[in-house]
Structure 1
């Protein structure tokens, strides 16, 4: 593994302040290859130009199937990205105190290479070769260091999935929360974010390739919509022996994300909010019950005292 330089990194990487755990995303990430609308002031096309643009080109049947869009259809992939960091304990030094791994995975720990072509992790500039490219699953990167910083994670998809890239950002966290107890070499600090990547109007080839994939959420086709016969590549089964990440060495630390878990988290958060509101109401009733003179709040420069 490459190590940070022996001299201390710049202040940006030296912060040891614990970062809050990211909350689950409030809305799915929707990726679309639809061309943007014409910008204001852009010259309008003439009738001849429009005719040339709209004239269909003769393409091979296989290419036509590959590029054919399925209207009113969406394919989604629940994803999780985050970091797991281990304190090195007695082996820790001033500038090398933790070993950590940053990753992007399926929420069910299935293979994501069916949609992801490569992942680029952008580390802090103090690392040697801070731009790291991973082109095979599992899409992850392990390093060691001493400071916390933001990691940019960029996903590039296969051409029949989406031409756009997806930029994600994750705050590396090395130190546990204050109420979590002291650092331990056996219990890592885990910070993960759950989200869903939605691909509207997928190509027919993409739909055929992932319709039985365990990591994909694929709807039924609208009534009357039919697909061409799948080719050999589209019939290939999910190769669990090669790509399944359920036996990943860090999987015991991965969070479980499901609707039931989310409901439990929401219920717990609601109880905390209700308890906080009740506490504030008690404090307010106590203040309202105090004598008027005792409720006077001193203004700027004023002090309470005896004359």
Structure 2
């Protein structure tokens, strides 16, 4: 979490010891009163106050921030929520002729924005928990892009923990992803040019954000601000968000693996939902036909049995 750093002034060295008074006659006072041993010694003079620079004076005289300002920034916005669409997953490449029994694939696990924007606006660090067989299986990534690359031969579950900035959320978010190295049977054999890509789309929702957090991210391209309640008046965006958004260091738009990223746009999601709905409806119709056929068979056998009994009694 970003911590407010405060610099303290270096301690001042003690003044060097004053040299002892010269007892020679030339150093003695010329007046007879000064030679009188009964004359009391003059009181010690007060040390002059340390000279302060203008900046130090300004810091000393600067009034403390009114508590209401801090309370205002920490004020939660009721009935408001901010969401950040994210994607987490793995991309694995078969090493081909370079593959060995214990080192057959190279893979990358990551967490990215669904729109490939910079997630460091909310994420402080990401911890990836690998299989215990790896050296240092707990990997901490504190700068975007939040990812790591490794190589191996086995598939396992990767735990992904997201930690957020202090003004975003105090709780962590735990995600889990199954590393997949080998393609499905219907996708053909392994290839060094075509990786195995497994991604999961999700949304991180922050209900009732603080006013400071909202001001900081409300115009960020990675954030999604839903429709607000009627009559809700929101604070204006922060000064840094007034300028047009420039490409940040942490985005993944030009990532070396971006050509393999899945596109999770709303249009694609609607098409996938429509296709899935059609498949479900077709499957339901098929089951209904099978049930009708199964229901018809016992009825026919029952009718034949009744007719046989009638003929027998006749």
Matched, 1:136 2:143: yes
Once residues 271 and 226 of structure 1 are traced to their aligned partners in structure 2, the CA distance between those partners, rounded to angstroms, is: 42
What residue is the counterpart of 2:270 in the other structure? Answer: 263
Unpaired stretches in structure 2, ≥5 consecutive residues = 1-64, 303-314
What residue is the counterpart of 2:61 in the other structure? Answer: none
Once residues 228 and 238 of structure 1 are traced to their aligned partners in structure 2, the CA distance between those partners, rounded to angstroms, is: 16
SS at match of 2:119: coil
Report the TM-score, using the length of structure 2 for normalisation: 0.68
Q: Residue 172 and residue 274 in structure 1: after superposition, are their counterparts in 2 closer, same or farther (change >3 A)?
A: same
Once residues 259 and 233 of structure 1 are traced to their aligned partners in structure 2, the CA distance between those partners, rounded to angstroms, is: 29
Matched, 1:198 2:201: no
Q: Residue 60 and residue 178 in structure 1: after superposition, are their counterparts in 2 closer, same or farther (change >3 A)?
A: same
SS at match of 1:270: helix
Once residues 94 and 187 of structure 1 are traced to their aligned partners in structure 2, the CA distance between those partners, rounded to angstroms, is: 21
Give the conservation status (yes or no) of the 8 Å contact 1:109–1:246.
Answer: yes
1:225 corresponds, among 228, 233, 256, to 233
SS at match of 1:113: helix
1:59 Cα offset (Å) = 5.7
1:261 Cα offset (Å) = 1.3
Unpaired stretches in structure 1, ≥5 consecutive residues = 1-57, 294-307
Matched, 1:98 2:105: yes
What residue is the counterpart of 1:71 in the other structure? Answer: 78
Give the conservation status (yes or no) of the 8 Å contact 2:160–2:175.
Answer: yes
Deviations 1:153-175 (A, max 9, x none): 00000000000000000001111
Give the conservation status (yes or no) of the 8 Å contact 1:66–1:160.
Answer: no
Once residues 281 and 199 of structure 1 are traced to their aligned partners in structure 2, the CA distance between those partners, rounded to angstroms, is: 44
2:170 corresponds, among 163, 166, 170, to 163
Report the TM-score, using the length of structure 1 for normalisation: 0.70
Matched, 1:150 2:157: yes
Matched, 1:211 2:245: no
Instruction: Compare 268-277 and 153-162 and name the one that shifted more.
Output: 268-277
What residue is the counterpart of 1:4 in the other structure? Answer: none
Give the conservation status (yes or no) of the 8 Å contact 1:205–1:234.
Answer: no
1:65 Cα offset (Å) = 3.4
What residue is the counterpart of 1:181 in the other structure? Answer: 188
Give the conservation status (yes or no) of the 8 Å contact 2:116–2:251.
Answer: yes
Give the conservation status (yes or no) of the 8 Å contact 1:209–1:235.
Answer: no
What residue is the counterpart of 2:261 in the other structure? Answer: 254
Once residues 216 and 236 of structure 1 are traced to their aligned partners in structure 2, the CA distance between those partners, rounded to angstroms, is: 16
Superposed, 1:53-132 pairs within 5 Å as 60-132=67-139
Instruction: Compare 200-209 and 277-286 and name the one that shifted more.
Output: 277-286
1:117 Cα offset (Å) = 0.4
Deviations 1:138-195 (A, max 9, x none): 0111111100100000000000000000000000111111111111111111111111
What count of residue pairs does the alignment treat as equivalent?
235
Once residues 144 and 257 of structure 1 are traced to their aligned partners in structure 2, the CA distance between those partners, rounded to angstroms, is: 27
Once residues 195 and 270 of structure 1 are traced to their aligned partners in structure 2, the CA distance between those partners, rounded to angstroms, is: 21
Instruction: Compare 218-227 and 178-187 and name the one that shifted more.
Output: 218-227
Once residues 217 and 273 of structure 1 are traced to their aligned partners in structure 2, the CA distance between those partners, rounded to angstroms, is: 31
1:78 Cα offset (Å) = 0.7
Superposed, 1:254-293 pairs within 5 Å as 254-284=261-291, 288-289=296-297, 292=301
CA RMSD of aligned residues (A): 2.4
